[in-house]
Amino acid sequence: MNLRLRTAERASRSAGKLLRDMLGSALGVRSKGLRSNLVTEADTASERLIREIIGADFPDDAILGEEGGTSGDARSGRWIVDPLDGTTNYAHGYRCFSVSIAYESGDGLQVGVVYDPMADELFSAAAGAGAHLNGAQLHASARSDLRDGLLVTGFPPIGADDDLENLRVMGRFMRRAQAIRRDGSAALDLCYVAAGRFEGFWEAGLHAWDVAAGALIVNEGGGRVSDYSGAPLRIDCGELIASNGLVHDAMLDVLRGEK
């Protein structure tokens, strides 16, 4: 039994319940530097709870959390935690957000769990053991033509990156794919690729905690994850394409500006 996977599942369900219970309450919304980059009391309460649960089971493990930074010695491995992915949605009561927890050792990502508390959907993966949704095996979609693809993207906080370049890329994808969505939780976007609901996802300006769990879930679901050049993803590289594998090269062409 994968003990860290069990801990990640328990921590994400507990944090998800906390987020559900706090939804709509006085949130103490603050911005982190940029006006569009938000943090709420729910983010910090969720991260505190996750750190308690992981710390009780694995007191020697390091933890990198979006709100609390790094604790512990990360040389032998670390947990990577986004306690509330989709904070802007959450602050507006838009019910698309998640909890994302991964564990990475020297051999790469070992465990990934993303929990959507409003849909009660728990996406999980362990290296070499496949990806699952509430216990059922996940498979990326079999659509091989980008023209039949439903794609999703996201944008970093406004002013954080090259907004115009993001819009140009989005315009090219709009002319090449069947349709585009922008939902606001990168962790869930990745899980939807693994579940065959989206054929592909791209975004620049992401952080390790947005993508670590979801990237493993896509790979274990039979999809592919890379950076914008097609090289295997490094979770802190900031940009990502995820796909069912079949439309990946066509997506890379669109990103490069080729037809």
Q: Shortest gap between Cβ of 75 and ligand IPD (angstroms)?
A: 26
Q: Shortest gap between Cβ of 73 and ligand IPD (angstroms)?
A: 25
Tokens of 103: 């564990």
Count Cβ atoms within 10 A of the Cβ of residue 18 and give its class: 0-12 exposed, 13-18 middle, 19 or more buried.
buried
Q: Shortest gap between Cβ of 212 and ligand IPD (angstroms)?
A: 12
Under 8 Å between Cβ of 137 and 220: no
Q: What are the helix (H) ranges across 177-231? A: 186-194, 208-220
Q: Shortest gap between Cβ of 112 and ligand IPD (angstroms)?
A: 15
Tell me the residue nearest to ligand IPD as measured from the CB.
154
Q: Shortest gap between Cβ of 142 and ligand IPD (angstroms)?
A: 26
Of 61 and 203, CB closest to ligand IPD: 203
What is the DSSP code (8-state) at residue 156?
P
Which residues contact residue 256 at a Cβ distance below 8 angstroms, ignoring those fewer than 6 apart?
Answer: none
Of 156 and 223, CB closest to ligand IPD: 156
Backbone φ and ψ for 257, nearest 5 degrees, come out as 90, 10
Under 8 Å between Cβ of 256 and 248: no
Under 8 Å between Cβ of 7 and 58: yes
Q: Shortest gap between Cβ of 229 and ligand IPD (angstroms)?
A: 20
DSSP 33-77: SSTT-EE-HHHHHHHHHHHHHHHHH-TT-EEEETTTEEES-GGGE
Of 80 and 206, CB closest to ligand IPD: 206
Q: Which of 69, 59, 66 is nearest to 81 (CA)?
A: 66
Interface ranges with ligand IPD (CB under 6 A) = 66, 82, 85-87, 154-156, 184-186, 203, 205-206, 210
Of 43 and 246, CB closest to ligand IPD: 43
Of 25 and 94, CB closest to ligand IPD: 94
- CA separation for the pair 26, 187 (Å, rounded): 25
Q: Shortest gap between Cβ of 1 and ligand IPD (angstroms)?
A: 30
Of 94 and 142, CB closest to ligand IPD: 94
Reported as type and span, the H/E element at residue 171 is helix 163-176
Of 70 and 144, CB closest to ligand IPD: 70
